[in-house]
Amino acid sequence: MMMVGTVNSATTTVAQSKNTVDKEAFFKMLIAQLKNQDPLNPMDGTDFTAQLAQFSSLEQLENINSQMTSFIDQQDSLAAYQAVDLIGKEVTVEGNAFQFDGSSATLLYSLAETAADGTLTLYDVDGKAVKVIALGPQGAGLSETAVTASDLPGPGLYSYEVAAFNQSGLPVTVQQAVKGVVEGVSLNGEVPSLIVLGLEAPMASLIAVGS
């Protein structure tokens, strides 16, 4: 069985900024201005109304910010619950690292177009090529290759790379993926990560659930 490799992804985070003057400070400034205004030249109704409108706008913005923060927290919680719900299920995630247990592992890849020829190269943990498997002609779409004890020197962490070429000898775009059972969920990062046979895979790398 294999372990899912971690994948770089892009994670979206929302930075929250604190207003320079919050509504309480604004209200105190308005009261102070009213107390210290010139009795012979008081603030006219238009200016006062404008400042009240500014106060109302500031309060509304703070309320919107609070609601957005609450919404983001709820979304993060929902993502965590969705990740937890995948525990025990077989998933396919984008990546090219796998843990070989000495028996077998299934490596997946998807070709953007039909390939006239191709190879799958296996690398050890130090990045040294340990075997090159000839793939031959391949159709477009998802394919898989089984790796057995005869292909690798022993149990351990490995990675793989698929290279494919069309009839004109030009490279074919390849998406690499691995499949495994979700053992747990990591909540240490900004977004939940699936733990598949010991390795973490971000939720954003999830391609499919089930066979």
Amino acid at 193: S
Q: Is the pLDDT of residue 150 over 60?
A: yes
pTM of the model: 0.56
Lowest mean pLDDT among 62-66, 100-104, 106-110, 120-124: 62-66
From the candidate CATH numbers 3.30.565.10, 3.40.630.30, 1.10.580.10, 2.60.40.4070, the one assigned to the domain spanning 90-209: 2.60.40.4070
- E strands, the chain, where? 90-94, 97-100, 104-111, 117-123, 129-134, 141-148, 156-165, 174-186, 193-196, 199-202, 206-209
**CA distance linking residue 76 with residue 81, whole number of Å:** 9
3-state helix, strand, coil split of the chain in percent (to 5) is 25, 35, 35
- Which one of 25-39, 92-106, 153-167 scores highest in mean pLDDT? 153-167
Confidence at residue 172, expressed as pLDDT on a 0 to 100 scale: 95
Asked whether 187 and 195 are in contact (CB, 8 A), the reply is: no
